């Protein structure tokens, strides 16, 4: 199949392209760097022309309420171009528990993206993943202050980007689900403990202070970001990934 991977040069997208091509498909990466702009629509019709599948892995440049406009506009443009081009399957990557954290602008924006896809004219699949292992450094940086990092006890079930990309590629190569598949890593950690584990493994002398009001994940209540019933569990353990 021919697969247009929008956002195909990023952390997940580049791996999805590699996986699909290794499986005998023709996956083509598209991004701003290749002249495709999902907001203005520039290059979008050309990117999806002749594609059997479109995988949308683009992401908002901000996590505030401006992300709502990004996902609304980008999905409207992508679906219009895909429908015009006769694309038979549209795939997006979302977040496990995304519809259960209404206090986060970015999560509400991702819900809007999902709803726009579901209501659109193209058969679809949604892959929801837990938090990427690769984002732990950024999570630590968000609440770092000198020699301390403040983190809440929010339960997190981290997944490796390579495992996410493998499932996205598999779903893209299959028939449209017209539904959602959830994927998660094999282990659950309170975020503060995950922070301590990470700093120790990296030889970082900073200290993690448990603070349930700190950072982005303070808005998350309960275990909504961990694998729901029926989720696929990826093989990579966080400790192995760190090593």
| pLDDT of residue 50 exceeding 90 | yes
Contacts of range 29-35, beta carbons closer than 8 Å, 24 or more positions apart: 29/5, 30/4, 30/5, 30/6, 31/6, 31/7, 31/58, 33/9, 34/9
Mean residue pLDDT across the chain: 96
Question: Per-residue pLDDT averaged across 119-131, rounded?
Answer: 98
DSSP 14-28: HHHHHHHHHTT-EEE
Q: What integer pLDDT is reported at residue 63 of this predicted model?
A: 87
Backbone angles phi, psi at 186, to 5 degrees: -85, -10
H/E stretch holding 71 reads helix 66-84
Flag the least confident range among 60-64, 92-96, 125-129: 60-64
| pLDDT of residue 242 exceeding 90 | yes
pLDDT tens digit string along 196-210?
Answer: 999 999 999 999 999
Q: What integer pLDDT is reported at residue 57 of this predicted model?
A: 97
Read off the pLDDT band of 13 (50, 70, 90).
very high
Task: Kindly state the tokens that stand for 208.
Answer: 């993690």
Distance of CA 1 to the CA centre of its chain: 23
Read off the pLDDT band of 136 (50, 70, 90).
very high
Q: Which residues pair with 189 in a beta bridge?
A: 156
Segments in 89-230 forming alpha helices (H): 105-119, 136-142, 161-173, 191-201
pLDDT tens digit string along 141-177?
Answer: 999 999 999 999 999 999 999 999 999 999 999 999 9
Radius of gyration of the chain (CA): 18
State the Cα–Cα distance between residues 16 and 146, nearest whole angstrom.
Answer: 37
């Amino acid at each position: 199949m021919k697969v247009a991977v929008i956002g195909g040069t990023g952390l997940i997208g580049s791996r999805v392209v590699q996986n699909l091509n290794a499986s005998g498909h023709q996956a083509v990466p598209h991004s701003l760097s290749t002249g495709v702009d999902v907001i203005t629509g520039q290059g979008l019709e050309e990117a999806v022309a002749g594609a059997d599948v479109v995988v949308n892995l683009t992401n908002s440049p901000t996590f505030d309420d401006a992300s709502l406009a990004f996902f609304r506009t980008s999905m409207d443009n992508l679906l219009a171009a895909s429908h015009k081009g006769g694309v038979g399957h549209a795939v997006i990557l979302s977040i496990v528990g995304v519809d259960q954290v209404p206090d986060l602008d970015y999560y509400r924006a991702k819900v809007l993206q999902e709803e726009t896809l579901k209501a659109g004219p193209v058969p679809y699949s949604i892959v929801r993943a837990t938090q990427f292992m690769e984002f732990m450094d950024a999570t630590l940086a968000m609440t770092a202050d000198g020699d301390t990092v403040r983190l809440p006890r929010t339960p997190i079930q981290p997944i490796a980007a390579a495992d996410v990309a493998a499932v996205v590629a598999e779903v893209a190569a299959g028939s449209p689900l017209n539904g959602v598949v959830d994927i998660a890593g094999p282990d659950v950690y309170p975020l503060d403990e995950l922070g301590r584990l990470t700093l120790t493994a990296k030889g970082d002398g900073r200290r993690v202070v448990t603070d349930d009001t700190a950072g982005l994940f303070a808005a998350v209540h309960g275990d909504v970001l961990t694998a729901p019933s029926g989720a696929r569990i990826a093989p990579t353990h966080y400790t192995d990934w760190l090593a």
